[in-house]
Structure 1
Amino acid sequence: MTFDDLLGGRPLMAILRGVPLARAAELAAAVQAGGIGVVEVPIQTAEAVDVLRDLASRGTPVGAGTVRSLADVAIAVAAGAAFTVAPGFDAEVAAASHAAGLPHLPGVATATDVHHALRAGCGWLKAFPAGSLGPGWLRELRGPFPEARFVATGGIDATNARAFLDAGAAAVGVGTAITRPGGLEALQAALRR
């Protein structure tokens, strides 16, 4: 499976950081039923790995987030992740994810990051922190790197998601804003505009 399969035409990566299993299952089911994207669970705690494992066992294509080391890649694989996500670019982590058959979404914030990540075989990139970089960053980086597909992540909510998509993001990664009551619904409305 590739990010084209996972996110092609689907504008949302729902980031479930620190979300208890019952709520995570509810949100993952809503995202999947709505056909609007995929779910990422940052694996910084044992509880989060359990959430990832449970969601993956339900057949949900769920990714492991905050994958920063080779050990994290091994944890993601063992838990049944469909893809890995990192806050930055690390060539070894990208290679290990790819070797395990998992597409990898590295964080990028500079043209140099984008260049190196593309050369490492990562066609989809996490523009992070997007809220600080701004939609203009995406427009400008799409010029020299038209083949890159960006997931704008960090500081994204229903008020600015559309601006990032309009600037060229293929999808937006949304965490805190989506886990609040009514957050997913507000975001879905913004994505439909």
Structure 2
Amino acid sequence: MTDPDRTAAFFDETFATAPLMAILRGMGVERSLALATTAWDLGIDSVEVPLQTDEDEGALREVCRLAVERDRIVCAGTIIDPAQVPVAVAAGARYLVSPGLDPAVVAAAREHGIPILPGVATPSEVQQAVAFGLRWLKAFPATWLGTGWFRHIRGPFPQARFVATGGLDASNVAEFLDAGVRVAAVGSALEDEAQLPRLAEVLAARRG
């Protein structure tokens, strides 16, 4: 099996059980642990901790440690420099997420044997990612792209699978999933007690 095939198979399995993932950006260790637990208890299996500061590295490491105990998956987000890849791997991240498509970052991820979900926002970027052998992609910023983008992009790129991030919460995740998004990412919505029941409904209705 080639590296692109392994990466696709990894994401197929990772995202098979739930149509939502959580992003815990700049929340510190304790808050990240608390919200990761909220996400897992809700039924969101995959949690992203963006890696931008030394504190984020500590949060990523601790959330990864707790994830092992809970048999859950944690990824490192905002990977924009190849140098971040070994840091994320050492912290225990199971996969990487980038806001954009950088061949050097993709190459570094492959060198370290860790799957990567690069960001795209245009047909040209999707085409380039597909040429790299990538099938699972992050569409960012999702609310700026709009649901129509996903309906149109499926025509020329039926093999692409999208994780939508940016501005999503309980009020609009179902709309994006209906448009063909495979996974929708939420962040601060997990701190809003009023949104948790609706997120639970989405999970229950669409769980694979």
Number of the residue aligned with 2:87: 75
Cα drift, residue 191 of structure 1: 4.1
CA distance in structure 1 between the aligned counterparts of 2:150 and 2:74, rounded to whole angstroms? 25
After superposition, the C-alpha distances for 1:86-106 in whole angstroms (9 at most, x for unaligned) are 110001101211221211111
SS in 2 for 1:70: coil
Cα drift, residue 114 of structure 1: 0.6
Cα drift, residue 73 of structure 1: 1.1
Check 1:20–1:181 CA distance in 2 against 1; reply closer, same or farther (3 A cut). farther
Equivalent position amino acid for 1:80 in 2: G
Of 4, 8, 11, the residue aligned with 1:3 is 11
Number of the residue aligned with 1:104: 116
Of 142, 151, 154, the residue aligned with 2:154 is 142
Q: Does the aligned pair in 2 maintain the 1:86–1:105 contact within 8 Å? A: yes
CA distance in structure 2 between the aligned counterparts of 1:46 and 1:22, rounded to whole angstroms? 15
Check 1:144–1:111 CA distance in 2 against 1; reply closer, same or farther (3 A cut). same
Unaligned segments of structure 2, at least 5 residues: 1-6
How many equivalent pairs are there? 193
Cα drift, residue 182 of structure 1: 4.4
Unaligned segments of structure 1, at least 5 residues: none
Number of the residue aligned with 1:38: 46
With normalisation by structure 2, the TM-score equals 0.85
CA distance in structure 1 between the aligned counterparts of 2:111 and 2:165, rounded to whole angstroms? 25
Number of the residue aligned with 2:168: 156
Greater length-normalized contact order (CA 8 Å, ≥ 6 residues apart): 2
Cα drift, residue 34 of structure 1: 4.0
Of the structure 1 ranges 160-169 and 18-27, higher mean CA displacement relative to structure 2 is found in 18-27
With normalisation by structure 1, the TM-score equals 0.92
CA distance in structure 1 between the aligned counterparts of 2:142 and 2:160, rounded to whole angstroms? 15
Equivalent position amino acid for 2:38 in 1: A
> Aligned-pair RMSD on alpha carbons?
1.8
Number of the residue aligned with 1:12: 20
Of 57, 60, 67, the residue aligned with 2:65 is 57
Cα drift, residue 168 of structure 1: 0.4
Of the structure 1 ranges 38-47 and 56-65, higher mean CA displacement relative to structure 2 is found in 56-65
